[in-house]
Amino acid sequence: MKAAFFKEHGGSDKILYGDYRDPVPEAGEVTVRVRACALNQVDMLLLDGRFPPPEGLPHVNGCEVTGTIEALGAGAKGLAIGQRVVIFPGLSCSSCEYCLRGERTVCVRYGYLGAHKDGGYAELVKAPAANILPLPESIAFEAGAALPMAMLTAWHALVHQARVRPGQTVLVQAAGSGVGSAAIQIARLAGARVLTTVGSDDKIELARALGAERVVNYRTQDFVEEAKRWTEKRGVDIVIEHIGGDTFERSTHALTRLGTLVSIGSHDTHWGRLDLRHVYSKNLRILGTNLGSILELRTILDHVADGRLRPVIDRVFRLPEARAAVQHVLDRKNKGKVLLVP
Q: From CA 247, how far away is CA 254, in angstroms rounded? A: 11
Task: Tell me the pLDDT tens digit for each residue of 213-247.
Answer: 999 999 999 999 999 999 999 999 999 998 888 89
Task: Tell me the pLDDT tens digit for each residue of 176-202.
Answer: 888 999 999 999 999 999 999 999 999
Residues 84-112: b if buried by 16+ CB within 10 A, e if exposed: bbbbbbbbbeeebebbeeeebbbbeebbb
Q: From CA 216, how far away is CA 25, in angstroms rounded? A: 47
pLDDT at 176: 86
Whether a cis peptide bond, with omega within 30° of 0, leads into 58 is: yes
Q: From CA 295, how far away is CA 188, in angstroms rounded? A: 21
- Positive or negative, the CA dihedral 80, 82, 87, 93 is positive
Task: Tell me the pLDDT tens digit for each residue of 133-160.
Answer: 999 999 999 999 999 999 999 999 999 9
Task: Tell me the pLDDT tens digit for each residue of 51-97.
Answer: 888 889 999 999 999 999 999 999 998 999 999 999 999 999 989 99
pLDDT of residue 312 exceeding 90: yes
pLDDT at 189: 97
Task: Tell me the pLDDT tens digit for each residue of 105-132.
Answer: 899 999 999 999 999 999 999 999 999 9
Q: From CA 52, how far away is CA 180, in angstroms rounded? A: 25
pLDDT of residue 299 exceeding 70: yes
pLDDT at 54: 85
pLDDT at 61: 98
Q: Three-state SS string across the chain, please?
A: CEEEEECCCCCHHHEEEEECCCCCCCCCEEEEEEEEEECCHHHHHHHHCCCCCCCCCCECCCCEEEEEEEEECCCCCCCCCCCEEEECCEECCCCCHHHHCCCHHHCCCCEEECCCECCCCECEEEEEHHHEEECCCCCCHHHHHCHHHHHHHHHHHHHHHCCCCCCCEEEECCCCCHHHHHHHHHHHHCCCEEEEEECCHHHHHHHHHHCCCEEEECCCCCHHHHHHHHCCCCCEEEEEECCCHHHHHHHHHCEEEEEEEEECCCCCCCCCCCCHHHHHHCCCEEEECCCCCHHHHHHHHHHHHCCCCCCCEEEEEEHHHHHHHHHHHHCCCCCCEEEEEC
pLDDT at 271: 77
Mean pLDDT of the chain: 94
pLDDT at 275: 85
Q: From CA 251, how far away is CA 204, in angstroms rounded? A: 20
Q: Under CATH, what is the fold of the domain 2-146+311-341?
A: Quinone Oxidoreductase; Chain A, domain 1 (3.90.180)
- 183 burial class (0-12, 13-18, 19+ CB within 10 angstroms)? buried
pLDDT of residue 38 exceeding 80: yes
pLDDT band per the 50, 70, 90 thresholds, residue 268: low
Q: From CA 56, how far away is CA 49, in angstroms rounded? A: 11
pLDDT of residue 321 exceeding 90: yes
Average pLDDT, integer, range 293-319: 96
Q: From CA 256, how far away is CA 259, in angstroms rounded? A: 5
- Cα angle for residues 306, 181, 336 (degrees, 5° grid): 100
Q: Under CATH, what is the fold of the domain 151-288?
A: Quinone Oxidoreductase; Chain A, domain 1 (3.90.180)
Task: Tell me the pLDDT tens digit for each residue of 241-267.
Answer: 988 888 989 999 999 999 999 999 776
pLDDT at 267: 67
Domain map (residue ranges) of the chain: 2-146+311-341, 151-288
Same fold, 2-146+311-341 and 151-288: yes
